[in-house]
Amino acid sequence: MTNDVFHKNELLDRESLHTLQGVRLKNVVFQASKSRFYRDQLFRAGVRIADINSVEDIRKLPFTTKDDLRNHYPDGMLAMPVDKMNRMHASSGTTGSPTCVFYTKNDLQTWADLMARCMYGVGVRPEDVFQNMSGYGLFTGGLGIHYGAERLGCCTIPAGAGNSKRQIKLLHDFHVSVIHIIPSYALHLATVFESMGMDPKSLDLRIAIIGAEPHSEAVRRRIEDLYAIKAYNSYGLSEMNGPGVAFECPEQNGMHIWEDAYVAEILDPETLEPVPEGEIGELVLTTLTREGMPLIRYRTKDLTRFLPGDCPCGRTHRRLDRILGRADDMIILKGVNIYPMQIERVLMSIPEVGQNYLIVLERDGFLDQMRIKVEVKEEFFVEDMRVLKNMQQSIARRLRDEILITPRVELVERNSLPRTQGKAKRVEDRRQES
């Protein structure tokens, strides 16, 4: 890989990168202090702007949570007047006030540049035709990647989410070479190809950007095999702009967190102290370049770890492991901590298992139970009950080896489980219904 592939900041030595972070952290604390929220927060914490002289001083600063954004809805977090903002994105707000994120013109430009950097780094070029299968509107995923692709110079097709047959027609007719797609929808779309008598490998696709929901390495490999492409993991969240916070490189071994734009910490979610190098904890992020609505030490609730060592690609920015899940998504069953990602990793490594599954939590008397509905590929769903029983027991044993309890495994026919065109719902908790 030649140096023209890299943005200049991607090759900074660690000392220079820390110096840049320190300067930008001081600037962002000054900018944040213009908001009602942070002015009060910094005063209560006894922190002055003069106290911030290096990136290590970040530990003097207070944390920010999603509840803070909700409690200061609609514009209590802004560091500039609303008439200086160029765009607003928001969560659905189905469980209360939505979380709103505002952007100035400069913020939007910085976001597009970061997203273009991500895409260029995995081989996307101006001559590519890019199809965005993500939802537009208040959701950040659609427009964030859209403007990154246009910033890069790609011919960009804003297909949006859903309408699978139209997606396939666009892919075929316009010789699309790069897509952005949710992992669970990529698996579902492959079944639509099959129902139409088409092979997704016959397309001109070569790169998929996948993200928006946690997924295992086994799911990524399955997508790559189904489409004969390279699939790259991405990470972002609305509070930090949206997509483009961290991205894989061609090594496909961790996502580089852009440390010239964010300070990343991995903390114990209970003590809020840093965890030892390489251990899993909660990701806490601070924006370094946003002017309209900077966020300081934002608790993402996402669980991950820093991968130790240098990346062979040459980038000096640290790498995050794939997101294990959210701190509040952990299932506690019979005294055992279980993450849905552990179950997916096992299921997607089994050749007989199809593209969909559902974890059902139930109560039997006073005991919590786990039942897992697993779709089986058509060629393996036979009438011989002994074959299905052996498969069922084999899956249960492999799951037990991973999660330390034995779930009830229920084999179901292909395409029999509900599907969504957005993020997949993998866990159904019925324990309160009993």
Instruction: Tell me whether residue 432 is exposed, middle or buried, using C-beta atoms within 10 angstroms of its C-beta: 0 to 12, 13 to 18, 19 or more.
Output: exposed
Residue pair 220/233 in contact (Cβ under 8 Å)? The answer is yes
Strand residue runs (E) in 193-308 = 207-210, 230-237, 242-248, 255-257, 262-267, 281-287, 298-304, 306-307
One DSSP character per residue, 92-112 reads --TTSSPPEEEE-HHHHHHHH
For residue 429, how many other CB atoms are within 10 A of its CB? 13
Residue pair 35/79 in contact (Cβ under 8 Å)? The answer is yes
Rounded to whole angstroms, the Cα distance separating 235 from 210 reads 9
* The model scores a pTM over 0.95: no
Rounded to whole angstroms, the Cα distance separating 381 from 304 reads 36
In tens digits, the chain (434 residues) has pLDDT values of 334 567 889 999 999 999 999 999 999 999 999 999 999 999 999 999 999 999 999 999 999 999 999 999 999 999 999 999 999 998 765 456 788 999 999 999 999 999 999 999 999 999 999 999 998 988 898 999 999 999 999 999 999 988 999 999 999 999 999 999 999 899 999 999 999 999 999 999 999 999 888 788 989 999 999 999 999 999 999 899 999 999 999 999 999 999 999 999 999 999 999 999 899 999 999 999 999 999 999 999 999 999 999 999 999 999 999 988 777 777 878 777 788 888 998 999 999 999 899 999 998 876 788 999 999 998 888 878 899 999 999 999 999 998 888 999 999 998 899 876 667 788 898 887 75
Domains belonging to the chain, first-starting first, are 1-327 (3.40.50.12780), 330-433 (3.30.300.30)
